[in-house]
Amino acid sequence: MNIYKQILGKKGHILALAPMEGVTDTVFRQVLCEIGKPDLFFTEFLNVEGFCSKGMEKVVHRLDFRNIEKPVIIQLWGNVPEYYAETIEYVKTLNPDGIDINMGCSVRDVLSSGRGSALINDKVLAKEIIDVAKESAGDLPVSVKTRIGFDKIDTEGWIGFLLEQGLDMITVHGRLSREAYSTSSRWDEIAKCVKLRDDISPKTVILGNGDVKDIGQAKEYVGRYDVDGVMIGRAILNNPWLFSGRKPEDISKEERIEVLKKHLEIFEKDRGDMNIFNSQKKYIKAYISNFETAGELRSKLMDTRSSLEIMDIL
């Protein structure tokens, strides 16, 4: 039984954290394991072409995870099928819980090279990638994260096509590629995906994604739109405790400071030698908020140049 069916068997639904570049790395995921762990983690997405090049060392850290983070799904992107095969052979040695293919990213640089959600317009290549991934993955489940269309809604055409590919799971973001995040997520279209699934591929798990702010809303949407689960993304930076069910106002100043310290300790242990300290400043606002002097403290912390400086201020 694959991991998606296992979670559904235990809980009846799946609450997953979306893969977000520069956010959901192993450091942040390890912190979430202590303060509010989702049912399912996804890694930052790894470019298979980059992995199969001389620059592999610059991207391979995206595959890092610790056992405490499991179940964790490795997300890949790119448009060269043979590179998927090569990358997945390595990925399998890490013992993740699944492989996810990114066919939903709408970042301009990704689209311009025919990757991410640009694959919505190239079903032939999309099928080649899926077929290679499934063959290479062996017993690992293979899934796709995507959108409801490129420049127009194509739920039946595109999602229907994906459902014919025998995927273990499809995560549907309820926007078009060209919209990025400029409109509200169309959950009515996600509900249509569920009905298509029931007709075409009843065993495929469907997650909905877009504009979900907390687990109360997520559970409501599971019932309202009949999805198997919900993937939550940007809201995690407003409340890192989100998956615990705790509200931002329920977290004390003392706890917030201790969690930021813990985050920096993990960062120094796991990634401090990568000279990327400034990349951690996005988490300062996530943790240091919702108390009287939070703004003043954040301002001081943002002027720092090292974890040690932050620790001294805290």
Give the C-alpha separation, 110 to 145, whole Å.
15
Give the C-alpha separation, 50 to 44, whole Å.
14
CA distances from 265 to 31, 203, 281, 300, 304 (A): 10, 42, 14, 19, 16
Amino acid type, 130: I
Contact 84, 129 (CB under 8 A): yes
Catalytic: which of 33, 52, 105, 193? 105
H/E run at residue 111: helix 108-112
CA angle 14, 15, 19 (to 5 degrees): 115
C-alpha torsion angle, residues 242, 246, 252, 256 (rounded to 10): -20
Amino acid type, 265: E
Return the beta strands (E) in the chain as ranges: 14-17, 41-42, 46-47, 72-77, 98-103, 142-147, 169-173, 205-209, 229-232
Give the C-alpha separation, 288 to 308, whole Å.
17
| 97: exposed, middle or buried (Cβ count in 10 Å: 0-12, 13-18, 19+) | buried
In sequence order, the 6+-apart residues with CB closer than 8 A to the CB of 181 are 175
Residue 193 annotated as catalytic: no
Tracing tokens 């409501």 back to the chain, one arrives at 220
Annotated catalytic residues are 105
